[in-house]
Amino acid sequence: MTFPKKVCTPYRKLFFLSLIWTVLFILMIPAASSVAGAVSSPVHTEVQVNLLNLRTGPSTAYTRIQGLPSGTPLEVLFQEKEWLLVRLKDGTTGWVDGKYTGFTSNLADKLPPVIGEKATVTVNLLNVRLGAGLNYQRINQLHLHDTVTVYFHESDWVLVRLADGTSGWVYREYTSFTPQAAGTEPQIPDINATGENPPSAPHQLTSTEEEEQYPYKVIVTSTPLPLREQPQLNSTPLGELTKGMILTVLDKTKEDWLQVELPDGRQGWVAGWCTQKLEEDKNSEEKGADPFIRLAAVTADILRVRSGPGLDYTQTGRVFCGNHLLIQQEQNGWYYVRTPTGQYGWVSSEYTTPINIVSRGNSSAKAYDVTQSQNITVVIDPGHGGQDKGATGVSGLKEKNINLTVSLYLEELLRARGFNVVMTRKNDTSLTLAERAALAEKAKADLFISIHANASLNNKYASGTETYYYQNKKTSPQSLYLASLIQQEVSAALKLPSLGVKKAPFHVLRETSMPAALVELAFLSNAVDETILASDHCLKLATEALYRAVLRYYNLNQ
Ligand SMILES: [Zn+2]
């Protein structure tokens, strides 16, 4: 990227500025309660039935906004047949059936004149709100080139009539409408929940420049937020991001466009003013922990996955008791997680238990007597290889490669300890099961360890470690002992569920005469397990666990 590293950070200031202006604006409402252009004093009436519905348009077919009790004061802005466009004291604008109010036809002449001009939308997305301010509810969204009729102009907002007959307020600057007498009022960019409407001039709102430390994380604050190919509004959208998503910022332009990476690895540009920077996550810096792997186990029967860090966010999925989640971020008692199915979302941390995958230290660095292990031959069998890829992970991780990586690490540890090690394969080659067993027999091996990764076709939640042995050969008791040690050590190291020691007549277990075990480290079909298997740190932890199992089997000092 050629963008300068020293860039403005306008959005925080912008946020506070907009907050200040919003507050000021709310304070201004009573004083400016009659619309611009009105020569006569505002026309007031009141509700004369027990409950009158305020609607988004002039008929009962339009959405009901709220019910107004008898006596509610109304400022009448416009009349269309029986229906009145009114404004409440709190600034909310909507339509009521005029015959249930005190409005009479002789008041009609006193209504303020409407502007009646057509205007088009000049930004990709424009929010339509119930009142002239960011704090009012959004009732609709307009798109680039949509046409509206401007009824009234007030400060930076215009009350418009949409093509479908509904009325609402939009931020004036994002339309082609130009008021007759342009005021000098402050601008309130609609940044809180608008799609990508850019602040008019972000670089003018910041006076200092600060150095950004990349990468850092931001949370998406508006929905939907397009992920774009280039840092500009008219660039091709690559996808849609939702509120609550966490993005890693790689770079930033002066115009506050962020180059981001999604949790799934996709990259693109997003409007920085639709995001908020997250504080540094301190918990991931525990000694020995992989900074990218923090787990939480679900302790509730069913835990809702939500679109944001709070109960008011929509539910986007579910996870179940015992499921392991990958913690991506933490905020006010909520975790942003990746679930076993690969989904990203927020869960309440209250219903989870944190699990830290921590190294037990490098035991191979200690001093020990190697003479005890010099006459022991261990065959390490990396499952699959070559044409036979084995299982494939949800993100494409190949089992054959994981098996080989762990096997090569284990070879190194065992050799350093004085063991004689035979590998069935040392690179990405194909060999049959019979060839593997024959190799072990020929080497007169003392121990046979086959290394695999699991997959479940029909259960994405399947997770954890399991170890197999063959129960019907001379060395079955020793095989069971070896399998038990491996199972204990590996599941403790990876902190995934222990699925236990199991019997199976796998060829390499059955056709080898020495004690033999086959370990399935974790499930590639589970997004959380796969992330662990994709971490070199975790593969090393698994290797150390296998190494400890061998030492324990021979009763050697660790
Ligand atoms: Zn396998």
The sign of the torsion formed by the CA atoms of 116, 122, 128, 131 equals negative
Question: What is the CB-side half-sphere exposure of residue 266 using CA atoms within 13 A?
Answer: 15
What separation in Å is there between the alpha carbon of 446 and the centre of ligand 1?
22
Please report the pLDDT score of residue 347 as a whole number. Answer: 95
Distance 456 CA to ligand 1 centre (A): 11
Asked if the model's pLDDT at residue 411 lies above 90, the reply is yes
Q: Which of 117-131, 309-323, 387-401 has the highest mean predicted lDDT (pLDDT)?
A: 387-401
Percent above pLDDT 90 for the chain: 43
Query: Ligand 1 center to residue 170 CA distance, Å?
Result: 59
Q: How far is the CA of 388 from the centre of ligand 1 (A)?
A: 9
Q: What is the pLDDT of residue 162?
A: 92
> In the chain, how long is the greatest CA-to-CA distance?
110
Task: Please write the tens of the pLDDT for every residue from 156-172.
Answer: 889 999 988 899 999 88
In which residue are the tokens 């960011």 written?
Answer: 134
Taking the centre of ligand 1 as the mean of its atom positions, its distance from the CA of residue 403, in whole angstroms, is: 8
Q: Which helix (H) or strand (E) holds 507?
A: helix 507-510
Compute, in angstroms, the gap from residue 475 CA to the centroid of ligand 1. 23
The residues, ordered by sequence, that sit 6+ positions from 343 with a Cβ below 8 Å of its Cβ are 305, 316, 317, 527
What distance in Å separates the CA atoms of residue 408 and residue 398, rounded to the nearest whole number?
Answer: 16
CA of 100 to the centre of ligand 1 (A): 75
Please, where are the H alpha helices in 250-319?
A: none
Give the distance (Å) from ligand 1 centre to CA of residue 387. 13
pLDDT band at 198 (very low <50, low <70, confident <90, very high): low
- What separation in Å is there between the alpha carbon of 532 and the centre of ligand 1? 17
DSSP sequence for 405-416: HHHHHHHHHHHH
Tell me the CA–centroid distance for residue 367 and ligand 1, in Å. Answer: 35
User: Could you tell me if 211 and 7 are in contact, meaning their C-beta atoms sit under 8 angstroms apart?
Assistant: no
Rounded distance from Cα 389 to ligand 1 centre (Å): 9
What spacing in Å lies between the alpha carbon of 142 and ligand 1's midpoint? 53
User: pLDDT digits over 51-95, tens only?
Assistant: 899 999 999 888 888 889 899 999 999 988 889 999 999 899 999
Distance from the CA of 452 to the center of ligand 1, in angstroms? 4
Do residues 346 and 305 make contact, with C-beta atoms less than 8 angstroms apart?
yes
Cα(503) to ligand 1 centroid in Å equals 16
Per-residue b or e along 69-106, where b marks 16 or more CB atoms closer than 10 Å to that residue's CB: eeebebbbbbbeeebbbbbbeebbbbbbbbebbebeee
